[in-house]
Amino acid sequence: MPPMPDSMHTTARKIYEWYEAKKEDHREHLGASLIGHACDRYLWLTFRWAASPEFGGRLLRLFDTGKREEARIHEELRGIGVELHTEEDGSQITCRDDTGHFGGSIDGVGLGFPEAPKTWAVLEIKTCNASSFAKLKARGVEAEKPQHYAQMQTYMGLLKLERAMYIAVNKDTDDLHTEWVHFSKTTFRDLNDRAERTIKRTTPADRLSDDPAHWQCKMCDMYKLCHQGEQPERNCRTCCHATPAAAGKWNCELHGKGLTAAEQRVGCDGHLLIPALMPGAEPIDGGVNSITYRDTTTGNTFTDGPKLKVRRRTGITKKEAKMAEEFNAPFVDPFNDDIPF
């Protein structure tokens, strides 16, 4: 039987496109759901909005399926007698550290769980496939899902609670895994210290691995940025002039003002890329609002600064000179015209 033409799948494609059109932008804070990630560099790049994850519509729909499962679990917990709080002033319950830059939104806080009926506990709900679910049941959340474990430890520490209820749903069979998790003061302190270092850093940490073939790197949202020389996004958080301030705010030292989230996403003509984010180049000189780089491959120089956003180099290559001679025409360097990156 011949394959169906693409026109037969238009509805599915349109649904995926709908998810892609409404996907969420950069998160304003460093999320508790990420703090257990294996790579310090990933945390910093994410906090600094260096690149956006590339999720297709099908995957975004899968994420939405996980969120929809939360309402079902909420109903089931109340059905067995748990006093459950999932909202505060009509929104999901949030918690932040003293800086306002680290924290997250919790799935709920409950009292009356059968494991300890008189103890308030953080609720965390996740979904996974059958293979992942089997490993989770065999090894437990701390060993098998360290990011989930770190997320709960963060919530418990910030909310000053001693317990958490972890519920994982097998998406293939609807089987449930529930696990009663105890607060670890040492773990929370380590995670909080890691978040503080990430927020205060002005340059990215080292890569988890310098090997582009490393399995964790290949699966990472920042792979193209770290290992393939992709240009970072240009917004306030990738600019030398922007710094985290108190209460989760950001300041611009160039303009001497605080920055709204909307302003951070747009940036301005005064954007000056953090030197460590400039791919394939090393800084050799700088002024008040410009940095001169040397291309590590060609040795040519170029400048980054306000309204420039172009690579300016000195000289031309032998190949370019030969072509100019062959066609009896002067060589025009495209990098010295006002062409954006």
**pLDDT given at position 91:** 86
CB 278 within 8 A of CB 292: no
pLDDT(310) > 80: no
pLDDT of residue 160: 98
Instruction: Please report where in the chains the tokens 């951070």 appear, as a residue.
Output: 264
Question: For position 52, what pLDDT does the model report?
Answer: 87
Run of H or E residues at 292: strand 291-295
What is the C-alpha to C-alpha distance for residues 171 and 130, in angstroms, rounded to an integer? 7
**Confidence check: pLDDT of 112 > 50:** yes
Can you give the pLDDT at residue 2?
Answer: 57
Neighbours of 148 (CB within 10 A): 22
106 burial (CB, 10 Å; 0-12 / 13-18 / 19+) is buried
Report residue 134 as tokens. 């089997």
SS3 123: strand
Per-residue pLDDT tens digits for 74-97: 999 999 999 999 988 788 999 999
pLDDT value of position 20: 87
State phi, psi for 75 to the nearest 5 degrees: -65, -40
User: What is the chain's Cα-based Rg?
Assistant: 25
What is the pTM assigned to this prediction? 0.84
CB atoms within 10 A of CB 30: 26
Name, of 60-69, 133-142, 327-336, the range with top average pLDDT: 133-142
Please state, in angstroms and rounded to a whole number, the distance separating the CA atoms of residues 44 and 245.
16
Higher-pLDDT residue of 87 and 164 is 164
- Lowest model confidence (mean pLDDT) among 40-54, 154-168, 194-208, 314-328: 314-328
Domains of the chain: 25-200 (3.90.320.10), 234-336 (no CATH)
- Residues 110 and 73 sit within 8 Å (Cβ to Cβ): no
Q: Which helix (H) or strand (E) holds 62?
A: helix 57-79
